[in-house]
Amino acid sequence: MRRSRIIGVGHYVPPKVVTNDDLSKVMDTSDAWIRERTGIEKRHFVEKGVGTADLAYEATKRLLQKSGKSLQDIDFIILATLSPDYFFPGSGVLLQQKLGINSIGALDIRAQCTGFIYGLSVADSMIRAGQYNRILLVGSEVHSTGLDLTTRGRDVAVLFGDGAGAVLIEAKETEGEEGILSTHLHADGRYAQELWVEKPGSIVPLSPEDLEEGRHFPRMNGREVFKHAVTKFISVIDEALTTNRKRKEEIDLLVVHQANLRISEAVREYLKLPPEKVYNNIQRYGNTTAASIPLALSEAVEEGKLKKGNLVCLAAFGSGFTWGSALVRW
């Protein structure tokens, strides 16, 4: 059977660290509020002029160094982001140009916090179908340049950070239980406006009044998103376990999208997993949207918490609403 395996991981965050105390100097917030409600202690912000494709490039470079693979090994690029460098073209082609591997295909995925899982599912399908042998999948975000870093935007601004994570997915003929076992994708567009950036968009141009009112900044109905996040995480993880006839306790490592430590904790409690079986790094990076799962996978491998043969469950939920999961035999 032809399956796809993740054979390399890498990540990159820009050097500038922004603590909760730093944010409290520019808006009415506090370290205590942010830690208690979200678990976040700090995040990384880019310097002026650094974009999403730059972070994706750095994460890919590290992935190639660590995995011993070369640029020639990559057949296709998938880049997941909600913060592309430009409206168009997508950041996938910018990454391709930076890597200097012209002419291979490059696809952008726009599924916000679930972008990595959507990308994984697309890559898995392409590989299983025999279309490609090795796909580079990157989640990369520059949030800091698009946040309302004033008291008006504090409910959203304190949550997000910049960063990128990359994986290399390769085809393997195997009869064993190896690699990506299944992926599960969902969306419910009725909730599109619960977490969104309204303008500018093709439907309405940006007016001076819009700028004044901050309509170009992300807006979120935090409580509604939180409520849906917990239930969707649980249902989509159950779906992955049921599909593969696995029990909760068979999970070696759970890596959920890093949106809020309280959400991860609620999911962990539902699954009755011990803390060491759940990987969290939101404390150091905040919510890095499409980058959060590959960033966590890369760190978990580095720290020896994710090893060959482990059963890994990935799950994400975010704007759209979109949500998804994947079960992977590492």
Active-site residue set? 113, 257, 287
- CB count, 10 Å around CB of 320? 23
Interface ranges with ligand UT7 (CB under 6 A) = 29, 33, 37-38, 113, 154-155, 158, 222-223, 225-226, 229, 259-260, 263, 287, 318
Give the nearer residue to ligand UT7 in terms of CB position, either 4 or 292. Answer: 292
**Shortest approach of ligand UT7 to residue 104 CB, angstroms?**
30
* Nearest-10 crossing angle of helices 91-99, 52-67: 50
Q: How far is the CB of 155 from ligand UT7 (least distance, A)?
A: 4
CB of residue 229 to ligand UT7, shortest distance in Å: 4
The tokens of 236 are what?
Answer: 């989509």
Give the DSSP H or E segment for 140: strand 134-141
CA 150 – CA 301 distance, rounded (Å): 37
Is the separation of the CB atoms in 149 and 157 below 8 Å?
A: yes
The least CB distance from residue 87 to ligand UT7, in Å, is 22
Pairing between β-strand 253-256 and β-strand 311-318 as defined by DSSP bridges? parallel
Query: Which residue's C-beta sits nearest to ligand UT7?
Result: 222
150/242 with CB nearer ligand UT7: 150
Query: Which lies closer to ligand UT7 via its Cβ, residue 6 or residue 158?
Result: 158
Sheet holding 311-318, edge to edge: 179-187, 322-329, 311-318, 253-256
Query: Residue 5 or 154: which CB sits closer to ligand UT7?
Result: 154
C-beta separation of 295 from 74 below 8 A: no
